[in-house]
Amino acid sequence: MTVTDVAGALATHPGWTLALLGVLFAGVVALFDLWGLRKFLAWPWRLVTGGIIVRPTGKWDSRWTTAAPEHPADRPAFRGEWYPRTRWGRMPGYQRMVLRWVAFAALYLLWRFTLPMLCVLVIVAIVVVGRQVLRVSENWCRNQVASGVVPAIEGPLGYRNTDPAEWLALPRPRLVWVPIALPARVTRAVRRWESLEHLLGRLGLPTLRTPLHDDNARVIVSLPVELADDTAVKEIKRRLTSRLPEGPWKAEHTDQALEIVLTHPKRPPAECWYDADAYKRFTVDNIPIAQKAGGEWFSLPVKELTPHGIISATTGWCKTTTANVIVAHTAGHGAHVFINDPKRVGYVRAFGDMDNITIRTTVDGWLATIDEFLAEMERRYSLIEEFPEIKDNPELYFQPWFLLNDERGSYVQEIRDRWKADGGKGTPEALRKEKRILWQSRAAAMYVADAAQQAGLDVFVDSDGRDQRMWRIASGPQTRSSWLMLFPGVTRIRAAIKKGRAVIGLGVDKVEEVQLALIDDATAREFAALGIEIGVREAFEREERIRALREGSVPAGDSAPVAGETAAGVPGQRGDGDATENGAPAAGKGNLHVIHGDGGNGPRDDESDSDDRGGDNSEDSDGDADDDLIVGLKAAAEFLSDRFGTPISEETFKKARQRANESGGIRGETRRGDRPAWPRLALTEWHSQRPRAGAR
């Protein structure tokens, strides 16, 4: 476009020509103050360029390129404006001009392109409102923290009637995922569906909070220049560390920077794994369960004053993983472990078909386990009464036994339901027997651990049951009542919200934050398998010690065990192919142990055909069943149908048994004539675990 074109355009539009000439004239007059007219043109010029003050610019007003001060140093109010100034009033002139012309352009575009501009304006409004809400929320979060700290330190600091944001620097609030503590009845209702249970365990609410719980959180308090009293600084540090939430805190004073910096002391590692080093360093009665600050292992000294304990953790917060660590370590050092598992998952997958681990998933199995435990404890006490020197080191004479009850709330409720269904009243007999075990079993090298979603009174049964469990672990979101049951009288510690971070206590007052150890199923099984050979070897050593006590002589040196044999003279010792005197399960293939009848090791390979024939022959009879054994395929199918309330045909049972024979057979299977037979409990447990144990 040439000058001629511009001149032609102006000639055809005289209005635009006059406006342009007026602006140029006003600019020249204002710039050179021709004829003293600047003061008459100043206020319309400021208005056009974005100014809101029509008076001449004062000392504290904003300029074209510089902003006005938010807090004037020597004047509370100025130029007739209210104090403090608005953000708009403090803006430099060029910014206000840009915003004003942007608003004019937006109105023009809204008139010409209504629908697109409406969409743009809605998006802009959402962004502006969202930022404002976020800013208000962040200020609220900071005020929540500052409200407990500022009143205690603003006086000694000399900061009364000042904005805390000027001298207290907190971490910026952010959205964190806070897990939801679900009621126990909900978790019980979905425990049969593992995927749904884990999904519910991951439920949480996004919450805006000041992340003081982070391991690297920092809080900075600026000190006034005139504060030089070391005593006052120490007092301020003491108040800060005691008042600031999410402690503990460590305060450091920097003279050069005139500030106090608060950080967390060294905290537990972000992750730790149970490994070969932990296995070798700790004995069977000193279980490495977690790591403390600095990577030091935290172990459970069950032989001392904390023989029994409980793990309280919602789904997804390492409850089963921690239990697997306990099982792998204790079984791997020669102990025998009983697991009562209402969920039927997890432990069967990790420890199924192991000689030194007994898994039971039905109420009948749990009751049998309690009876075995109590009978064995009484037998050991009889020996201790005969030879009092045993009580100092019972593990030298008895194989350690561990009882793990998972999903304790469901476990107790189902025992209560069975007791009521059988016409019982009051506390179930099994729970009364369990209380006797808690009172006395430590001296017999027998220990109990429980795992629960929340540690309510229904889990402990009564306060005495709580007091007997002296090591306690709380992981994940805990209700107030759960915390009070676990750690009565102890100020609640809010551990970092990360998987595996937990609070653990030994006794009633020693409570600290730890990172729970992790272990995968395959590794847990490998460590547990190491204990099978150890158990056989130690059985002969214990037999020698007991023989020496009875003969009144010094025990002979260690004798080498013969593979496949066991030391029958050791009470409660589990060996290969033999059952203990009280009918405790025999070791061998499978994790289901025979309680009644002959403890066979399952069918021989060369008998598979006769087994099937025996099953067919059973059709000619009612499938005899006595008090101990279920005889014949038909009787077994009818027994399982009645026990589980699901119709099972003889053919279905026959096919399932054939698949089981490929992986070792049904534990406890024996023969009655030419027909297979099974103990009732062994058959019940096999069927209960079969859907989750990979037998189908």
Q: What is the 3-state secondary structure (H, E, C) of 563-574?
A: CCCCCCCCCCCC
The pair phi, psi for residue 461, each rounded to 5°, is: 75, -50
CA–CA separation, 633 vs 623, rounded Å?
8
| Mean pLDDT (whole number) for 143-164 | 81
CA–CA separation, 103 vs 83, rounded Å?
27
Q: What percent of the chain has pLDDT over 90?
A: 19
Tell me the per-residue pLDDT of 326-385, one tens digit each, with 9 for 90 and over. Answer: 999 999 999 999 999 887 766 777 888 888 999 998 898 999 999 999 999 999 998 998
CA–CA separation, 598 vs 119, rounded Å?
81
> Which of 286, 342, 302 lies closest to 319 in space, CA to CA?
342
| Mean pLDDT (whole number) for 424-446 | 90
Residue 448 has pLDDT above 90, yes or no: yes
Least confident of 98-102, 170-174, 503-507, 663-667: 663-667
Contacts of 669 (CB under 8 A, 6+ apart): 600, 602, 603, 676, 677, 678, 682
**Mean pLDDT computed over every residue of the chain:** 77
Residue 57 has pLDDT above 80, yes or no: no
Residue 100 CA: distances (Å) to CA of 23, 56, 95, 103, 316: 18, 20, 9, 5, 55
> Which of 166, 112, 117 lies closest to 142 in space, CA to CA?
166
**Residue 449: DSSP 8-state:** E
**SS3 assignment, position 518:** strand
**SS3 assignment, position 287:** strand
Q: What percent of the chain has pLDDT over 70?
A: 75
Least confident of 67-71, 106-110, 306-310, 486-490: 67-71
**What's the whole-model pTM score?**
0.63
| Mean pLDDT (whole number) for 496-512 | 80
> Which of 265, 516, 264, 304 lies closest to 392 in space, CA to CA?
304
CA–CA separation, 285 vs 266, rounded Å?
28
Range with top average pLDDT, 180-194, 201-215, 258-272: 258-272
Burial annotation 405-431 (CB, 10 A radius, 16+ → b, else e): bbbbbbbbbbbbebbeeeeeeeebebb
Sequence letter at residue 413: Q
Q: What confidence score (pLDDT) does residue 420 get?
A: 92
Task: State both tokens at 525.
Answer: 């099984």
Q: What confidence score (pLDDT) does residue 290 get?
A: 93
Q: What confidence score (pLDDT) does residue 517 get?
A: 93
Who wins on pLDDT, 567 or 650? 650
Tell me the per-residue pLDDT of 626-646, one tens digit each, with 9 for 90 and over. Answer: 557 888 888 888 888 887 777
Q: What confidence score (pLDDT) does residue 592 get?
A: 33
Q: What confidence score (pLDDT) does residue 56 get?
A: 54
The pair phi, psi for residue 534, each rounded to 5°, is: -60, -40
Least confident of 307-311, 526-530, 555-559: 555-559
Residue 142 has pLDDT above 70, yes or no: yes
Residue 424 sits at the vertex; the CA angle it makes with 421 and 425, to the nearest 5 degrees, is 120
CA–CA separation, 555 vs 541, rounded Å?
9
Q: What confidence score (pLDDT) does residue 153 get?
A: 83
Cis peptide before 248 (omega within 30 of 0): yes
Contacts of 318 (CB under 8 A, 6+ apart): 475, 499, 500, 502, 516, 518
Give the chain's end-to-end CA distance (angstroms, integer): 87
CA–CA separation, 266 vs 579, rounded Å?
51
E strand or H helix at 143, and its extent? helix 114-146
| Mean pLDDT (whole number) for 545-562 | 63
